[in-house]
Each structure stands twice: as structure tokens, then as C-alpha cells.
Amino acid sequence: MQLRTCQLSRTASALPVLAVLLTLTTGASLAATGIKFVVSQRGRAFLPGALTIHRGDTVEVVNDDGDLMHHAYIDDPDFSFDSGDQEPGAKADIVFTKAGTFNVLCGIHPKMKLAVTVRE
Ligand SMILES: [Cu+2]
């Protein structure tokens, strides 16, 4: 009788540990699938001006445009982003969590456009 009680409590305590391990493993593999793409904003233009990536990837927008300010944003019903004011040298990471085609625009320079196609 005492042995059976012991076995039951062992099983019960092992379950939460297993759940934590599964969560950690899943989180690690998701993070490893994302790739980072770097986009320049030099000369009042996104370089490159178009990108095809996969869902979960990151686009890092770098203000390497001398002493100019930029302000990257996405205003789409499915996905939105706003970097705020980008001081010279500032970097803004956009993690694309939705598939689709999104335009990254600049709030300061209306001609700046980066078309990002996000595949599943
Ligand atoms: Cu700009």
C-alpha cells in the first residue's frame, strides 16, 4: 500500500517537469527558424527596395543616412509597425508574424518604400 502511494506521487510530480521541457524545446526551435535581413535607408531610399522573407523572419531597418532622421512604419489591416523617430545610426527590428505583402514606409520621406513579401 505504501509503495503504490509512492509511485503515484512520483508520476504526478514528473508531469509538470515534462511540460516545462516541451515548452523550452518548442520555443528554442521557433527562435532558430527566424532569419534577420538588414535593410539600409541610405540616400532617402530603402536598400533593397523589395524583399521576400518567411513568416517569423526579422527585417532590421538601419538609419545609415548621415544626419537624416527616418521613421519606418507599416499601416496594414493585418500587420502594423511603428519605429518612432529613427535617429541617425538607429536600428529598428520588424518581426513579421503574418504572411502577406506589406509596405514599409517612411513618415518623413513619402517616396521611401520597402515592399516585403512574407511567405508561410
Ligand atoms: Cu525617411
Going from the Cα of 108 to the center of ligand 1, the distance in angstroms, rounded, reads 5
- The percent of the chain in helix, strand and coil, each rounded to the nearest 5, is 30, 35, 35
What would the pLDDT profile of 62-118 be if each residue is shown by its tens digit? Answer: 999 999 999 999 999 999 999 999 999 999 999 999 999 999 999 999 999 999 999
61: nearest Cα among 83, 78, 85? 83
DSSP 61-107: EE--STT--B-EEEE-SS-EEE---B-TT-EEEEE--S-EEEEEEES
Q: Looking at the whole model, is its pTM more than 0.85? A: no
| Residues within 5 Å of ion ligand 1, judged at the Cβ atom | 70, 106, 108-109, 112
Going from the Cα of 17 to the center of ligand 1, the distance in angstroms, rounded, reads 49
pLDDT at 99: 97
Q: In the CATH hierarchy, which top-level class contains the domain 34-119?
A: mainly beta
Q: Would you list the domain boundaries of the chain?
A: 1-33, 34-119
Going from the Cα of 109 to the center of ligand 1, the distance in angstroms, rounded, reads 4
What would the pLDDT profile of 13-63 be if each residue is shown by its tens digit? Answer: 444 444 444 444 444 444 456 999 999 999 999 999 999 999 999 999 999
